[in-house]
Amino acid sequence: MKLPLSCSGEVAEALADGRAVVALESTIITHGMPYPQNLETARLVEAEVRNVGAVPATIAVLDGHIHVGLELAALESLARARDVQKLSRADLAVCLATRATGATTVAATMIIADLAGIEVFATGGIGGVHRGADQSFDISADLNELAQTPVSVVCAGAKAILDIPKTLEVLETLGVPVITLGQADFPGFWARSSGLQSPLRLENATEIASAHRMRGLLSLPGGQLIANPISQQDEIPLAEIGPMIERALREAAAENIGQKHVTPFLLGRIFELTEGRSLTANISLVLNNARLASDIARALLEQDKHT
């Protein structure tokens, strides 16, 4: 048996030519945003990556086959579909074995990116330690993946729907470098600051690429979590978004939402409570992350030329 994985023509060519490639996840399309903004955003993000001189590779499983780089028709059907599976590390093999269709989370996207030889990945927010995890044990597999798969993941920090202090503690325990670009505070997704200090700080893509290579030279497994603050103009400060997050969390508890349904439920409610502003912010920060990830991917290639 052979792993059912193929790269799109554009991605295969870029990898063969040694050009910069940036991985993109698909759960953000199927479970993170409503249609049609999800499709529009996915296309805008791909365009942004191309604009800054890299090649986008959106990753998903379609009918039991792993795709690295999606054609427009595939992207469109994924964006419209309602019953797509959400695939994390635990789900991938069963999805392939049953020839099902699924969107990849940060963890699953990292696994596939690494198999395809892609070292940098852009997304919005990662999974983390959920509030109340002392009772629910709900800790995203994304954290463990960062500890074992050598991909640099660019996000906008963590959403305050999570327990951010505990998320940072777990990442520290797992030995995952959490690096914020250009500021001391760890960003809070919609807000530029989460109110917490970032464990590490770097100033530009070159430094981040260099740290990525140093981990390899140290034979350390795992990747890096890069936190890129949302632009000032599109942020929703903590004081404003905080109460809405609290309300969505109370509702999730009242309705007994559990397991992998928690994140999609909260995102949907916050979208409604902010009257769509959370989505505008989300789109802006994903584009911002796509640009930084492309810069890091290009910086990695640049450094390899000089060493």
Write out the residues near Mn ion by the rule CB under 5 A.
138
147 in Cβ contact with 180 (< 8 Å): no
Beta strands in 141-217 (DSSP E): 152-155, 178-181, 185-188, 191-197, 200-202
Q: Contact with ligand PSU (CB under 6 A): which of 41, 101, 140, 224?
A: 140
Specify the residue, 56 or 209, whose C-beta has the smaller distance to ligand PSU. 56
- The yes-or-no answer on residue 25 being catalytic is yes
Say which entry of ligand PSU, Mn ion, none residue 273 contacts (CB below 5 to 8 A, set by partner kind): none
d(CA 40, CA 76): 9
Tell me whether residue 255 is exposed, middle or buried, using C-beta atoms within 10 angstroms of its C-beta: 0 to 12, 13 to 18, 19 or more: exposed
Helices and strands (H, E) in the chain, number of each type:
13, 13
Strand partners, 191: 188
Reply yes or no: is the peptide bond before residue 199 cis, omega within 30 of 0: no
Q: Contact with ligand PSU (CB under 6 A): which of 56, 69, 125, 229?
A: 125
Specify the residue, 15 or 158, whose C-beta has the smaller distance to ligand PSU. 158
Catalytic-labelled residue, pool 48, 86, 119, 159: 159
Per-residue x/- track, 198-237, ligand PSU (CB under 6 A): ----------------------------------------
- The yes-or-no answer on residue 159 being catalytic is yes
Going by the DSSP 8-state scheme, the letter that residue 277 receives in this structure is H
114 binds ligand PSU (CB under 6 A): no
Smallest distance, Mn ion to C-beta of residue 141, A: 7
Per-residue x/- track, 259-278, ligand PSU (CB under 6 A): -x--x---------------
105 binds ligand PSU (CB under 6 A): yes
Token digits of residue 27: 């759960």
Work out whether strand 152-155 and strand 178-181 pair parallel, antiparallel, or are unpaired: unpaired
Strand partners, 154: 122, 226
Which chain residues interact with ligand PSU by CB under 6 A?
25, 27-28, 32, 88, 105-106, 124-127, 140-142, 159, 260, 263
Residues recognised as catalytic: 25, 159
